[in-house]
Structure 1
Amino acid sequence: MTATVLAKLMAMFFTVGLGWLAARQRWLGKPEEGDPARVLGNLVFYLFVPALLFRTTARLDLAHMPWATLVAFFVPLVGVLLLVYLSQRRAAARHGAAAPATRAITATFGNSLQVGVPFAAAVFGEAGLAIHIALVSLHALVLLTLLTALVELDLSRAAAAQGQTAPSGLRGLARTLAQTARNTVIHPVVLPVLAGMAWNLTGLGLHPIVDESLLTLGAAVVPMCLVLIGVTLAAYGVRGLWRGALGLSAVKLLLVPAVVLVVARWGFGLTGLPLSVVVMMAALPTGSNALIFSQRYETLQAETTATIVISTAAFALTASFWLAVLSLIP
């Protein structure tokens, strides 16, 4: 673990601590005046994240993407995501219909910016950072879009089971699918991605004023998410959540990179620097987008926050382990 990455981790914990302090001191308002975590979450989810996603998608250089490396990373990652999602379907009755997708994102969505960028730059240099940035450019787009479709389908099924939608049979199925499709597309994550991709395909580029505005809004995602983690910690704490958070952290830090390593190396034949970059991308701790997702669907916010904190602290050890493993791979 390099000094640069350790400094980044300490800065993250310091910012989270400021969010916790702000909530404890009620600088964001008293509880009876509203839920500050919910307000901050909505602000990030409806304003800052869409700006970041639209700008990222609109500026993608599709012609020069390392597609073989991307496939070798996302195929096993999505496989683990679906495995976690399906295994958690049994918990939906106790924690709500959004629980499987929430735990799936918590167990698979890595902190590719705050931790990943300085780590890749320090360990792999400019060549490795270029590969990492290519992975980052599609990371949120792929995972959030897929999980949004899954959670909206689960919510539609839950509503249908409670008699809130159309009658059963083909007509009821068609209504459920139509509602799911609408909720998936008209969504603060998916809609900016589709709009950005459509704008990208026009080849027009972004006007400097628009680009600068989107850049300013997107830059707020990282600090706002870190503060939100602290606010959520103050609101919920972590007592009684260790078992679930430790399990999800183990999946994120150990299972996900192990699967990516095996599939990328022996399934897709990836070697050398690209293999090292995709494995360490998979080994990153849980990212703050998982909390934004849980806030959006009001599910397992405390467990998600605890997982982010635990996995980030443990990354100092697990990163060294995976680098040692990679040094042994031919």
Structure 2
Amino acid sequence: MFGLKGKSFLTLHDFSSEQIGELLELAAVLKAKKKMGIKGETLNGKNVALIFEKPSTRTRCAFTIACTDEGAHPEYLGKNDIQLGYKESVKDTARVLGRMFDAIEFRGFSQKTVEELAEYSGVPVYNGLTDMYHPTQILADLLTVKEHLGSLKRKKFIYIGDGRNNMANSLMIGCCKMGMHMVIIAPESLWPESGLVTTCTAYAKKSGGSLTITEDLNSVKGADVLYTDVWCSMGEEEKASERIKMLKPYQINMDLITKTENENVIFMHCLPAVKENEVTEEVFESKYSVVFDEAENRMHTIKAVMVATLS
């Protein structure tokens, strides 16, 4: 597994395209086994701490089931269950949990927190979401694209909406590393940070992909994937009315689907969706939508990460 044992999963920057491909292949194998009712024993005797500063449906359920399917014990630690970062430093909490658990998942606000947990715990740490990155979601997205379109290379992947949130950041990294033609369509004020664009452009050049940042909605022509996310991330609720006004022209609706000129285009969303904002109900419930395959794949790809780094 390309030497992944003991490695943390904090951002896809830290993984080669070969390693990402290996994780996707492992996830497909584990998914097939689960469909056949075959449970594994690769994580027998392991204990995994699940730290949640932010609430979750998919991330919590995916980690919990992935652990139990492979024989591990997941321990949920909500924001009121431990004293992370206020009565006790992240550094000290990391060293305590690292003595008791074999791995730690963190879903919260600061990327610095998940990096400190990895630095001081001595065990693999998994980023279940921060304000900057959401790498476990991207693995699920890539697996879903492979399942529906057969491959990743040279597929045109369009992300529309807030182009500088954690999903846009992480999709840029993943798609550019895997040789896809990544396009972010967003108002210029919501374009991704220039340093990240430079880094991802280099990834794309190496993999045979490309990266385009634009305001032009006509760029959806030839899209294989249309992807969007909520217009206001968790913690930005006070900006809702401003964002809705700014991003309404960037809604994914049937007119935009038609503009792709691809009857086999797929629609993706990391969920939860605010229907009639970033996507219409019509598209969400249409034949183009693969959002629930994508949601299920969170479990299989998260399982693959834990098996590769712990077993």
TM-score (norm 2): 0.30
Structure 1 or 2: more strand by fraction:
2
Query: Which gives a bigger RCO, structure 1 or 2 (Cα 8 Å, sep 6+)?
Result: 1
If you compute each CA radius of gyration, which structure gives the higher value, 1 or 2? 1
Structure 1 or 2: more helix by fraction:
1
